[in-house]
Structure 1
């Protein structure tokens, strides 16, 4: 099972290496002890939100990036799953499905699909990623060689620069599609 601290630990290592910074340099920039950062990268501890914010500032990344699991070419989040934050004074929760990489452009579409024939898409330009949330019905979605059956509320992301399909499995299937161009 992936725990929040293990996701944060992997995110810290990934982003520190991406930035080309040493453990000591990130700790210095964040104003924390090198041993504290070492412990966090080892998946130990219970960091405060203030410590995490300081690390994000030191790494020049959005806060949500620390909660991103290791980047996979395809990701499925079932309804009721995913990193969730709750409001303190309202019955309100937000589930992080995806963050937008720097310099990316996103186009948003509402899809209305009927069963009977599947939509086969040829690869889009390199580094295109498709994000889809099924809002009504059921569908088979994703890369042609590994599509996933989705139900209402499920989220999937997959490489749009590979051949992919969308097959409605129920009448009046609806989905929100976000095409990300990096």
Structure 2
């Protein structure tokens, strides 16, 4: 079976955010306190309104202790899944546009695959989050700084690092297209009991 997956980030985020909050039994006020996001903004997001940024979604992920993909995807059951990047809403940050292509869950952990584009003349900062980041540059030149170390990656280059500490990216001499794989070990976001879906 072949199934094309489309994603409306705002509506899915709203639905999933409310579901995760209800599961954990926390109020909007408590989520606002944990995430540093205003209660009114959270209310808008839960209603499917607004245009969430990368920073907002990662703050909510950290506050709820769930992976980003749990907030942004549904789970299409299929043997073959076709994802058209053009059909996926863009999650934008200071310098990066991300499209979540796939969430892969199995007993050994969780993986999220993103189409990542880095815009020139800006730097994308991250305070850190769980897991390991894997980057493969498709076009352009990307500069990554993490753990006091800076590396420049060209087309075909690969870099991996633990993402728990501050890190940032920037495009060098024009835009960058790359694949970002976020890898979470099972002790960070344990898989639920029973069958382990590939979603």
Q: TM-score range by the shorter chain?
A: 0.3 to 0.5
More strand by share: 2
TM (norm. structure 1) is 0.48
Q: TM-score, normalised by structure 2?
A: 0.44
